Structure 1
Amino acid sequence: MIKTNTLAISALLMLALSGCDKILSEPTIDTSTDELMKTTSQEVRSSLPEADRSKFDNALKLLAFSQIDMKDLFAAGAADTESIESRMKESLHGKTAQQVIAEAENIKLEREKRQREQAVVEIAELEKKREASAKAIKELKKFQVIRSRFTQEEQKYRGKQPIIDITVKNGTDSPVSRAYFEGTIASPGRSVPWHVDTFNYSISGGLEPGEEQSWRLAPNRFSDWGKVNAPADAVFTVTVQRIDGADSQSLYSATGFTERDEKRLSELKSKYDI
């Protein structure tokens, strides 16, 4: 019985030792010298099945380059280059193929976690911006454009002078010092306008709540307004884009949330399923 147990224990020890030998014999990357790093990396790669070698190559790059900060790329001097190289080698030294792949996966997961956290913050900012823009557009409707006309008046010895006639009424609760507009000259039935441009006007003395004013504006005749050659049936429409308060700071702006912002918000919410 004792002899049988001894044989069994010996067999178990041999099996365990053979497993240890297998573990100990698994090749690792040695970055002691550039030559050793090159040869041992190739040995580690060759120890993998063909199907896993591409995965190892990508993991090796990710692990090495994860040690580089963007600021390192712009750092000057040999000392900085040596520091980067040292960190890269340290991150690879003594690692097996599976350790390289596993650590690279951890880096990817951590990076994806940080990216998601940043996306959540950006989504919240964009949604707040969209909400503020929607409120601004609603308020801007209270600053009414009652009348708008665009003409080209012939000037003696000077050619044609573009003229914008506009009447507005301040239906907001705040005085307005400057108003910003987008004007469109288009003909009924045509999908493409003759001209679309912006203009603004600094209101002398401001426009108090409930007040109405008419302005006759003369854009530079050498600007695009002066090049407009629309037919008689063309209609001039004006929309309010922004108004400034008495302190010359923006009260409401329709351009706070752009098409680019909307696209970015949609992309982030779709990508992170939020």
Structure 2
Amino acid sequence: MVAILLGVLSGCDKVFHEPTIDTSTDERMKKTAQDVRNSLPEDERLKFDNALKIVAFSQIDMNDIFHKDAASTGNYENRMKDVLHGKNAKQVFAEAENIKLERDERQRKQAMAEIAELEKKRTAAEKAKDELKKFLVVRSRFTHEEQKYGLKQPIIELTVKNGTSAAVSRAYFEGTIASPGRSVPWHVDKFNYSISGGLEPGEEQSWSLAPDKFSDWGLIEAPADAVFTVTVQRIDGADGHSLYSTTDFTERDANRLTELKSRYGI
């Protein structure tokens, strides 16, 4: 059915005054759509073709896409015919313009909702960053221990202090091994630790963690001047749920928020 409309070509049919589209049959629809097109100046015919596409495709819903049976096709064709029947060129243009305006408004509303959601995530991440500063990494060291057999064992040594007002059951970190004066670190990786018995407010603990020697931690060959720094990215409460996290608002989220606000002049 769409092909019938999109296949309308220039012809030499007789032009009637303000011809309209008659969708009573497929043949009548094809002919009368051609008559309406031929009644227009040459420079408006492409605009008419595009308007027909907009009107036709606007009648397709998700059921038409996912249920490609005769009933769905018939429903779509009937809706399209109802919209186009009795319309002249100006009315087809107006219908297409209304459809575009309604579509743009739906997109704007969706964008506003997404912007609000991203702003909320960003605000939460900023608050979390401030709160996570209270969960202190007092000391951080990275070493390799010689083993009797096989590869050296990488060791992460941490001393942390819980300066928050809540007990912490698990902490998530990002560790960076870098040398002073070098812009590119030797290694950056994330790790986490489940704290046996938790860490109550005001408590301090020291841990010696042993990452898999066959992981990237075991392959690090940093020079003697390299420094191991650790930042806290998330902490979970006693119930195992996240208390504060800076990872919920990602770089992709930030870029998306900037793009949407720029698009809509916010």
Q: Which moved more, 1:163-172 or 1:184-193?
A: 184-193
Question: Hey, what's the Cα distance between the residues in 2 that align with 1:159 and 1:259?
Answer: 36
Residue pair 2:63, 2:72 contacting (<8 A) in 1 also: no
Larger-gyration structure (1/2):
1
| Residue matched to 1:13 | none
Distance (whole Å) between structure 1 residues aligned to residue 255 and residue 87 of structure 2: 43
Q: TM-score, normalised by structure 1?
A: 0.88
- Secondary structure of 2:146's aligned partner: strand
Superposition pairs of residues 1-274 of structure 1, within 5 angstroms: 25-274=17-266
Q: In structure 1, what is the Cα distance between the partners aligned to 2:31 and 2:204? A: 83
User: Which residue identity lines up with residue 60 of structure 2 in the other structure?
Assistant: I
Alignment TM-score, normalising by the size of structure 2: 0.90
Give 1:167 shift. Answer: 0.7
The SS at the match of 1:107 is: helix
Secondary structure, counterpart of 2:177 in structure 1:
strand
How many residues get paired?
A: 251
Q: In structure 2, how many angstroms separate the alpha carbons of the residues matched to 1:157 and 1:82?
A: 74
Give the partner amino acid of 1:218.
Answer: A
Letter in 2 for 1:134: E
Residues 80-126 of structure 1: CA deviation (Å, up to 9, x unaligned):
11111221222212211111000110111111122222222222221
Give the RMSD, CA atoms, in angstroms. 1.3
Q: Gapped runs of 5+ residues in structure 2?
A: 1-15
Partners of 1:142 and 1:71 in 2: how far apart?
Answer: 52
More helix by share: 1
Distance 1:53 1:189 in 2: 66
CA offset at residue 25 of structure 1?
2.4
